[in-house]
Structure 1
Amino acid sequence: MQTHEITRRFTDHFVAAGHTKVSSASLILDDPNLLFVNAGMVQFKPYFLGEVPPPYARATSIQKCVRTGDIDEVGRTTRHNTFFQMAGNFSFGDYFKAGAIEHAWNLITSSQDAGGYGFEPDRIWVTVYRDDDEAIELWRKIAGLPLERIQRRGGKDNYWDMGVPGPGGPSSEIYYDRGPEHGREGGPEADEDRYLEIWNLVFMQDVRGELSPKDGHPPIGTLPHKNIDTGMGVERVAYLLQGVDNVYETDLVRPVITRAEEFSGRRYGVDATDDVRFRVIADHARSGVMIIGDGVTPSNEGRGYVLRRLLRRIVRSSRLLGVNEPVLRSFAEVVRDEMAPTYPELVSGFERISAVVEAEEEAFLATLSAGSRIFDTAVAETKSSGGLVLPGDRAFQLHDTYGFPIDLTLEMASEAGLEVDQDRFRALMNEQRSRAKADAATRKVGHGDGSIYRTVLDTHGVTEFLGYTDLSAEATIVGLLVDGVPVAAAREGEHVEVVLDRTPFYAEAGGQQADTGELRGASFTVRVDDVQSPVAGLRVHRGVVVAGEVSLDAAVVAEVDRSRRASVSRAHTATHLVHAGVRGALGTAAAQAGSLNAPGRLRFDFTSPTGAVQPAALAEIEDEVNTVLQQNREVEAYETTMDEAKRLGAMMLFGEKYGDRVRVVDMGDYSRELCGGTHVGRTGEIGMIKVLSEASIGSGVRRVEALVGLDAFRHLSKEHLLVSTLADQLKARPEELPERINGLIERLRTAERDLEKVRADAVLASAGALAAGAEDIDGVSLVAVAAPDGVNGNDLRALASDVRGRLGSQPGVVALFSGDGEKVSFVVATTAAARDRGLAAGALIPTFAPAVGGRGGGKADLAQGGGTDPAGIPDAVRALRSALRN
């Protein structure tokens, strides 16, 4: 049974059982605890936590997931994968244990002719949480399982939570016995290779705190309703039903290995070492394509770093298979073709995906080239010292600084006849991981933090948003907090958080800054400085009581700062137009990666794997957008279904979660996006857009900054004044300024070069006098003095070399010092005859450097250094004389 058929049957089974089909969420959701979505229930967390009323009582989904904790194990085993699909069914206060068990049992054991998977009931085992007698009885009653195929296990195995504060509960796992050829008897407790877990049924009922019930700690509360969250591993079911040994041999994964075989000329299943590399390529190619498809680009932190590591491991593994040509685009094509029936967006977005992988591969190949040179130097140093082990510090430097994978270092070291100090390397890696974990722990935010806001939400419901049509409205205070604590009243001067039953204030979201304004009551005024939505559906107004005393349940008039709202709305609408202009000029690979809409200005981030946008192209984008403003197009905002929005071709931003009903902001055939922000009525209201800059903010991500409306006009006015002033001073027309200024700059550079030559000649002119003043120290001519004023840096080095040349064939040492404020520079040069007597410049520096609070080093003929005590120069000269005498 093919994988796409497995997911189709799952969905059909649960839709027939009254579940609403829900599309997979993006791998990137706004969750502070997760880099990537790692379970099917993640998109449903607000419903489980009671933050938002669920729109359906039952749901089913096929969720794409990425787990990155075991990247280093991928390929070494056939059990570890980074990307996988999780088929799930969910109940929100509807059915509970009995329903979950019955639905699962019917699907896995029904015949394939009847739409099931056709697993043999006699080969099914289950596990339950240690004291869940109810689940045991249900398995016996519904499935007829004998007690010997039901095993109790502890919290580590049969309690589920997300590893952070949030929802959880006991679970029951379903296993399939693959047969005695795969391991020993005794059920899952004895051998989880023979008894393979295929489905986990979570009976979600608890809220865990900082300490998990997995470790024996009690939950801190119960969820508002008992819920069901299940996850069936699609890939595991696939390899069981397809009669292969592991996920890498299933229909959607094996084609990537086949392509790698074509590139390398090697065959999977022949050599164990090669097999690891083939599996890394297959797993990471799928993960990389899916992650890029959801809007991530390679970088050096967060999700981007994980993506970069995945892609570079593919390139590394390919090279170890003997493939030196670019491979990432070809592997991405295979993933696209195999996964497209379930994820058609991989086809429509492939131009951007291929551009990202090609750019990253090109950059990494350059890194490999640079790293190889560093590696060759390290090998030469190790061998020259008679060693046979490459130091772990150098291996770590190659890995950490140059991005050189340790596996490649080991391979190349072996070819060079060396081993690598892996213990030291691992110790340094562990130190780095510990620092990273400590840093992450300081930023971790649990889901128990919003309990106060959820209480307000549960009591009074969602905040009705009126801001699309009204900027002033009457409302009632339903929540009042000071320092995060609910209060009945707050006095003048206190910082407060106010929740209203209805509001015209826009809460910061989607790059748009929050509204500001006032809340006015009969005897008080609250200045609103910020509006946030800490839990979905609730808008919290943050500000200061500027007059009177505000109290809970008071009536207010909520008034938005109209001028600021209008300015921000102009910027937000302008951002949509800039987005459309950039995509029109650069293609679909240019996708929005972030934005900021503030009064009078905007910031737009977008993916650009090909690098900087040329000034001419940027000017054309600016001109095109301003033309659209002049056309004064209507800006229409309306709600529709997700399917209709897709049919209309509306842009959907990566990482955003959309429901079945979406809001479209439409500017005709030029721009059409899904957006919840506020906008102008017609494009002409924006006035004008002036692009200020375009620059890189990370690998493959560019940033455009622009001014909007009156701010743009004022900027151009200042520029005009500046140009007029320059034209007047240079006695030139404005269009002549570039040529005139270039001429001035060139003349200035010529004058500086002439001046530098004169100064250098003057410095070298003192060389003869310095050489003539050499003193004899036991047959060695010594010139040890402070250099003439103005001599430092490269001049000092050149002067020392010139003086040494004038000492001829006799043994000679030149030591010149330059003091500047609190710094000292010095250079030591020796003649060939001096070196024959054992006087090396680098070896002489330690004899006098402490006198000037410094240090240095170099070769036998020339060395240099610096210090922090110019007053010690005379003592340094005396120390050098003494050293020569000794």
Structure 2
Amino acid sequence: MKTAEIANRYLDFFRSKDHEIVPSASLVSDDPSIMFTIAGMVPFIPYLTGVVPAPYKAAADLQKCIRTNDIEEVGKTARHGTFFQMMGNWSFGDYFKEGAISYAWELLTSSEADGGLGFDEKDLWVTVYEDDDEAEQLWRSVAGLPANRIQRLGREDNYWTTGQPGPAGPCSEIYFDRGPKYGQDGGPAVDDNRFLEIWNLVFMQYAIDNVRGKTEFDIVGELPQKNIDTGMGLERVAFLKQGVENMYETDQVRPVLDRAVELSGRTYGKNHEDDVRFRVIADHVRSSLMLLSDGVTPSNEGRGYILRRLMRRTVRSMRLLGVEEATFPELFAASRDAMKAGYPELETDWQRLSSYAFAEEETFLRTLTAGSTILDTAVEKTKTAGSDKLAGDQAFLLHDTYGFPIDLTLEIAEEAGLGVDRDGFDSLMKAQRERAKEDARSRKRQIADLSVYREFRGAGETSFLGYDALQTETRVLGLIVDGVPADRATAGQVAEVILPETTLYAESGGQVADKGAIVGNGFELDVLDVQRPVPGLISHTVTVHSGEVAVGDAATTIVDGENRRRAQAAHSATHLVHAALRDTLGSGATQAGSLNRAGYMRFDFAWGQALSAETKTEIEEIANNAISDNLEVSTRIMSLDDAKAAGAMALFGEKYGETVRMVDIGGPWSRELCGGTHVGRSSEIGLISLTGESSVGASNRRVEALVGIDAFRELTTERRLVNELTSALKTPKDKLAERIAELSANLKRAEKQIAQFEAKELQQRVPSLAASATTVGRVQLVAESLGEIGSADDVRALVTQVRERLASEPAVVALVGVAGGRPIVAVGTTERAREAGVQAGALVKIATGVLGGGGGGKPDFAQGGGQDASKVDAALEAVRTAIEAA
């Protein structure tokens, strides 16, 4: 049975049981405390916790998930995958334990001919929470399960909580017996490899408090509304129904594995290490493709870093299989074809997805080449120093700075006959992880408990009236001070204000929040920010400027009209620039993000190379022509399907409901899904002036522009600058660039001549410096201050030349110069001086220690720098003393 068919059977079954079929949420989580949708229940948390009233009594879905906390286990077990799909059915105060158990048993055991999954009853076991007598009785009466196939487990295994005070409840898990080939008998309590969990039923019926740990909490009562939360892993069911050994061999994953086998020329199933690599490739390619399809792009932080890591692990695994050239065009295409039946957008959006993937692979292959060169140099230095082990900090530098995998460092070092200080590397990695964890904990501590909004959201959605008005009369529905509800807020306090309606725009879609005020009888509130903390609710963060505001007070929202007009002009300008980009570059230049505020816009788009000056001018001209054409700006509310059919552009990774707002500028020329505020006609934008274009990651570019009066002011400033230059250089405007180029060339020639004169002057100092050598201990020492110098190169050159003059002697040359106010030290030794036991590196460390700096090098030459130029003489004296004592 194909994976897509299993999913369809599941959804069809629950559709027939009057469940609302809910489309999958994005892999990019709305929850600020997590990066990805890591479980099927994540999109339903607001409904399960009661923060947002559920729009349906019962629902079912197939949810895309990404989980990377056990990425190192991928490929090693039958069930670890970074991307997976969870089938779930949900009840919000409708059916409870009996209904959930009945539905699960019917779907699992009904014959395939009748639309079921066709599992044999004798192969199914269940676990229940140790105190849940009701669940055990239902399994016996509803499913007819014998007592010996029902096992009771404790809180660790069979109790669900969020980890915080709030809803919780016992679980019942359904297991499939894979047979004696996979382990010992005795049920899931004995062997969870042979007995594989396929479905988890959570009975959310209790409220808990005083949470001290995963299993340490107090059950304080029953919930007023009991919910059902279930999850069945699609990949697990698929590999059982398809009779294969693991999820990597199912129809949605195996084609990538097979293509990797073909490209490598190796055989799957012959060698354990190779098999793990093949499975890693199959998993990571699919996960990367699905992340790309939800708008994530490779980068060095956040979600983008996770995606980049998955891609680079894939490249590394192919390299370990003997393939060093690019393989993503083959592997990603295989994954697309395997997944497109369930996710047709993978084919329709292939151009964008593939451009990111292919560019990332090319970048990393170049990184591997550069890293290999750096590593080769480090290996050579390690051997020269007489060590048999590459330093841990060097391996960490390659990993952390250059993205060079540690296992590749180990492999290359081993080929060169060296080990790697793995303890040192691991210590640095551990310290980095601890910093990252602390940073994550710090961010999480700053996130308010969203349950504080439950009561306010329960009163209904906040109505946004700002499309048609800049102020409205309303009342204070709620106040939050220091993260908890309050009945009033007084002058000087910062508070969140909840209103049933508002004209103040909440930040979203790239447009920043409105500025403005909320006023009432006896109080005035300055609006600092406007956000949507939970779906459907708008919260205003304010400072109480004067007076006292209380819950229930009448209030008026007032938008800063000038700021709004300039912000919406910038937002409309963004739409024009997007359309101009697509006109100029083609449909591949798709939006990847934007920011709009009063007078300024920036727009990120998919593109693999810098724009030429001519292209930027063309884009700017097209956008400004649209302004001068005074195009009509219109908005329509329609279904998402109708908007897509009309050709509306949607932002990848953005979450849209079934009903959307479509913004047209000039009809279909610019047509996008957008909830922001806009001008009435394009001429109200005034002017767009592109101020910059840059790279923001592999295959991503960014354009920035000033809009309206800000653009005009920038152009007048440039005009004034040009006029000043023409006047100062006595050159007409059309000859200005030529004149500046001429002056620049003259300056370079003058700088070169000055450098030659300085070099000649330095050369003339060599004889006198060599003649200043005096006997110190067993060597001839030249220890002099050079005073002000041009650069460190001057010190190095003099040390080298003076040492050559004294090459036949046991001589040391130690010179100190001051460049830019900072002392620079260089020390050179002749061969006979080194035979006498004098090392340049040791002497430099002594000198720079006196100067408040550091340095080092080889026995024959070393250099360094310091902070305190007043101690140059003391540093030279310290060198002299060290040589005397040698």
**Shorter-chain TM-score range:** over 0.9
Identity level (%): 53
**Residue 154 (structure 1) aligns with:** 154
Deviation at 1:831, TM superposition (A): 4.5
Q: For residues 527 and 214 of structure 1, do their structure 2 counterparts lie closer, same or farther at Cα, with a shift above 3 Å needed?
A: closer
Q: Distance in 2 between matches of 1:860 and 1:491?
A: 71
Corresponding residue number in structure 1 for 2:717: 718
* AA matched with 1:534: P
> Residues 779 and 481 of structure 1: is their aligned pair in 2 closer, same or farther, counting only changes over 3 Å?
closer
- Consecutive unaligned residues of structure 2, counting only runs of 5 or more, are none
Deviates further, 618-627 or 115-124: 618-627
Which shows bigger deviation, 411-420 or 24-33? 411-420
Give the drift of 1:378. 4.7
- What is the CA deviation profile of residues 626-649 of structure 1, one whole-angstrom value per residue up to 9, with x for unaligned ones? 122222222211111121122122
Per the TM alignment, residue 9 of structure 1 is displaced from its structure 2 partner at its CA by 0.7
- What's the offset of the Cα at 1:870? 4.0
- State how far apart, in whole Å, the 2-side matches of 1:210 and 1:368 are: 51
Which residue of structure 2 lines up, in the alignment, with residue 520 of structure 1? 519
Correspondences of 1:363-382 after superposition (within 5 Å)? 363-380=363-380
Deviates more, 1:309-318 or 1:385-394: 385-394
Aligned: 1:233 with 2:233:
yes
Deviation, structure 1 residue 590 = 3.7
Return the match for 2:612 from 611, 614, 629. Answer: 614
Listed as ranges, the matches of 1:125-164 within 5 Å are 125-162=125-162
In 2, are the aligned partners of 1:155 and 1:213 still within 8 Å (CA)?
A: no
Q: Structure 1 residues 450 and 753, CA, compared in 2 at 3 Å: closer, same or farther? A: same
Deviations 1:80-132 (A, max 9, x none): 11111111111122111111111111111111110111111121111111211
> How much does 1:571 deviate?
1.1
**How many angstroms does 1:405 deviate by?**
2.2
- 1:173-184 → structure 2 map (5 Å cutoff): 173-184=173-184
Show the 5 A alignment for 1:6-85.
6-85=6-85
SS state at 1:215 partner: coil
Secondary structure of 1:229's match?
A: strand
**Which residue is equivalent to 1:641?**
639
Aligned counterpart for 2:655 among listed residues 639, 645, 657:
657
SS of 1:662's partner is strand
Q: CA deviation at 1:38?
A: 1.6
Q: How does 1:105-120 map to 2 (within 5 A)?
A: 105-120=105-120
Q: Match of 2:615, as an amino acid? A: A
Report the equivalent of 1:262.
262
Provide the secondary structure at the position in 1 that maps to 2:11: helix
2-side partners of 1:260 and 1:144: how far apart?
46
Matches within 5 A, 1:496-507: 496-507=495-506
Residue 92 of structure 1: aligned partner: 92
Structure-2 change in CA distance of 1:621 and 1:387 (3 Å): same
Give the equivalent residue in structure 1 for 2:477: 478
- Superposed, which structure 2 residues align to 1:583-622 within 5 Å? 583-608=582-607, 610-622=608-620
Partner of 1:190: 190
Counterpart residue identity of residue 172, structure 1:
S
CA displacement at 1:672 relative to structure 2? 1.7
Match of 2:574 in 1: 575
The 1:850/1:635 distance shift into structure 2, 3 A limit, reads closer
Change (3 A) 1:794 1:133: same
The CA deviation string for residues 43-79 of structure 1, in whole angstroms up to 9 with x for no partner, is 2222222233222222111111111111111112222
- Distance (Å, rounded) in 1 between the aligned partners of 2:425 and 2:800: 43
Q: Are 1:3 and 2:16 an aligned pair?
A: no
Q: Taking structure 1 as reference, are residues 723 and 278 closer, same or farther at Cα in structure 2, changes over 3 Å only?
A: same
- C-alpha distance in structure 1 between counterparts of 2:494 and 2:649, whole Å: 39
Aligned to 2:124: 124
RMSD, aligned CA: 2.7
How far apart in 2 are the matches of 1:246 and 1:385? Answer: 49
Confirm whether residue 201 of structure 1 aligns to residue 201 of structure 2. yes
Contact 1:48 1:223 in 2 (8 A): no
In the alignment, what sits opposite 2:746?
747
Aligned to 1:277: 277
Whole-angstrom CA distance in 1 between matches of 2:685 and 2:340 = 40
- CA spacing shift, 1:503–1:873, aligned 2, 3 Å: closer
| CA deviation after TM superposition for structure 1 residue 534, in Å | 2.3
Matched, 1:312 2:312: yes
Change (3 A) 1:270 1:848: closer
The DSSP-based 3-state class of the residue aligned with 1:665 is strand
Q: For residues 294-373 of structure 1, what are the structure 2 equivalents within 5 Å? A: 294-373=294-373
SS in structure 1 opposite 2:185? coil
- Per the alignment, residue 555 of structure 2 pairs with 556
Q: Distance in 2 between matches of 1:882 and 1:542?
A: 67
Per-residue CA shift, 1:335-392, capped at 9, x if unaligned? 1111111111111211111111111111111221223234434545566677666555
Q: For 2:264 and 2:830, locate their aligned partners in 1 and report how far apart those are by CA, in whole Å.
A: 57
CA distance in 2, matches of 1:368, 1:227: 51
Is the partner of 2:306 in helix, strand or coil? helix
Change beyond 3 A, Cα 1:255–1:746? same
- Tell me the amino acid that sits aligned with residue 616 of structure 2: L
Query: What SS does structure 2 have at the residue aligned with 1:787?
Result: strand
TM-superposed deviation, 1:753? 1.5
- Residue 730 of structure 1 deviates from its aligned partner by 2.1
- Residue 815 of structure 1: how far off its partner (Å): 2.5
Deviates more, 1:189-198 or 1:202-211: 202-211
- How many angstroms does 1:18 deviate by? 0.6
Q: Tell me which amino acid in the other structure corresponds to 1:536.
A: P
Q: 1:730 aligns to what?
A: 729
Counterpart-to-counterpart distance in 1, 2:141 and 2:447: 37
**Structure 1 residue aligned with 2:287:** 287
Aligned residues: 884
Within 2, Cα distance between the matches of 1:758 and 1:692?
A: 42
Alignment partner, residue 801 of structure 2: 802
- Distance (whole Å) between structure 2 residues aligned to residue 765 and residue 67 of structure 1: 68
State the shift of 1:164 in Å: 6.1
2:242 is the counterpart of 1:242:
yes
Q: Normalising by the residue count of structure 1, what TM-score does the alignment of the two structures yield? A: 0.94
State the distance in 2 between where 1:612 and 1:164 align.
48
Letter in 2 for 1:685: E
Report the CA distance between 1:208 and its aligned residue: 5.9
Q: 1:415 to 1:207 in 2, by over 3 A?
A: farther
Secondary structure of the residue that 2:59 maps to in structure 1? strand
1:744 CA displacement: 1.1
Change (3 A) 1:113 1:409: same
Q: Match of 1:534, SS?
A: strand
> Structure 2 matches for 1:842-881, cutoff 5 A?
842-845=841-844, 851-853=850-852, 855-881=854-880
Distance 1:847 1:512 in 2: 58
For 1:157 and 1:185, the matched residues in 2 are separated by: 19
Shift in Å at residue 863 of structure 1? 3.0
Bigger shift: 327-336 or 378-387? 378-387
Alpha-carbon shift at residue 851 of structure 1 (Å):
5.0
Aligned mates of 2:648, 2:846 — CA distance in 1: 75
In structure 2, the partner of 1:666 is 664
CA contact (8 A) 2:778 2:836 kept: no
- Give the C-alpha shift of residue 792 in structure 1: 5.1
- 1:531–1:210 distance in 2 versus 1, CA, 3 Å: farther
Checking the alignment, whether the CA contact within 8 Å between 1:129 and 1:152 is kept in structure 2 is: yes
Partner in structure 1 of residue 705 of structure 2:
706
Instruction: Tell me, in whole angstroms, the C-alpha distance in 1 between the residues paired with 2:442 and 2:850.
Output: 45
Name the CA distance, whole Å, in 1 between partners of 2:790 and 2:464: 71
Tell me the alpha carbon deviations over residues 545-568 of structure 1, each in whole angstroms, 9 at most, x when there is no partner: 444443332223322222211111
Q: Contact 2:788–2:819 at 8 Å: present in 1 too? A: no
Structure 2 Cα separation of the partners of residues 495 and 846 of structure 1:
55
Counterpart-to-counterpart distance in 1, 2:187 and 2:805: 90
Q: Which amino acid letter does the alignment assign opposite residue 618 of structure 2?
A: E
What letter corresponds to residue 146 of structure 1 in structure 2?
P
Residue 509 (str. 1) matches residue 508 (str. 2): yes
